[in-house]
Amino acid sequence: MQIYDLSKENSIVNQFMAELRDADYQRNRLLFRNNIMRIGEMMAYEISKKLDYAARDITTPLGTSRINLPADDIVLATILRAGLPFHTGFLNVFDHAGNAFVSAYREYTDDSHTEVGIHVEYLATPDLGGKTLIIADPMLATGGSMELGYKAFLTHGTPKRIHVACVIAAPDGIEHVKNSLPADRTTVWCSAIDPALNEHKYIVPGFGDAGDLCYGGKM
Ligand SMILES: O=P(O)(O)OC[C@H]1O[C@H](OP(=O)(O)OP(=O)(O)O)[C@H](O)[C@@H]1O
Ligand SMILES: O=c1cc[nH]c(=O)[nH]1
Ligand SMILES: [Mg+2]
């Protein structure tokens, strides 16, 4: 399984990441969502370099121009709720893509808040058979949401390639994806790999709860 970490190379993404992580900046939800969206746009651009291309003749008012255009049939999938602004960033770039949504939320299953269960409830997707599936979710912590989201999408066809796109990944999450998605057809993209999860299964240093930072707390 290939893994691309955008932080390996200096780019403007570093500034978006610094603002996302900064507890003061985080008070501005509009900025938080916007930075997630902008990372989605940058990551989509990087993924676009790995697609298949086919030449097409485009008629201009003055002649013909041959251009290599993406040949992949892309479906942009996301996991509600924190995935929404990230998905928007991808859709700003891959505006011809199909779209798929699944809901998954983590809930503690014990009083000490150290074990999480994941609930999948809503699924809306086009046929995924033979498609290039990009699953955008900002946090890859335990990897449980990604696995269950992927398995829900699989009920609607087997994609040709899978790109797992996240903002921050933890080593546990990457390992989980390696073991639960087809490693020969899956690529993981992230803007940082943070060292660990804390006892509540949050990524450390991470930036906190992505869904709450985008949309506020939930009961
Ligand atoms: O790798 P995991 O351990 O499964 O954690 C990652 C999940 O956590 C967040 O969602 P969350 O469950 O907080 O739901 P939300 O988007 O509604 O906040 C995030 O968007 C991922 O879906
Ligand atoms: O650190 C984490 C882990 C899972 N989900 C989040 O939103 N943040
Ligand atoms: Mg959350």
Q: How many domains does the chain have?
A: 1
| Nearest CA residue ID for atom 2, ligand 2 | 202
Enter the ipTM.
Answer: 0.97
Residue 210's domain comprises 2-215
Average pLDDT score over residue span 118-136: 94
For residue 212, give the ligand 2 atom closest to its CA. 7
Does 106 or 88 have the greater pLDDT score?
88
Distance 173 CA to ligand 2 centre (A): 11
Q: Would you say the CB of residue 212 lies under 6 angstroms from ligand 2?
A: no
Q: Is the pLDDT of residue 111 over 90?
A: no
Give the pTM. 0.95
Q: Does the structure show a pLDDT above 90 at 88?
A: yes
Which of 90, 89, 181 has its CA nearest to residue 140? 181
Ligand 2, residues 78, 81, 106: which to mutate, most atoms within 8 A of Cβ?
106
What is the pLDDT of the chain when averaged over all its residues?
96
Report how far apart the first and last C-alpha atoms of the chain are (Å, whole number).
37
With left for phi above 0 and alpha for psi between -120 and 50, is residue 143 left, alpha or beta?
A: left
* Banded pLDDT at 214 (limits 50, 70, 90): very high
Predicted local confidence at residue 106, as pLDDT:
78
**What count of other Cβ atoms lies within 10 Å of the Cβ of residue 134?**
28
CATH for 31 = 3.40.50.2020
Burial string for 170-206 (b: 16+ CB within 10 Å, else e) reads bebbbebbeebbeeeebbbbbbbbbeebeeebbbeeb
Q: Among the listed ranges 100-104, 113-117, 164-168, which one has the minimum average pLDDT value?
A: 113-117
Ligand nearest to the CA of 145: 1
Q: Residues with Cβ within 6 A of ligand 1?
A: 79, 81-83, 104-106, 118, 137-145, 173, 201, 209-211
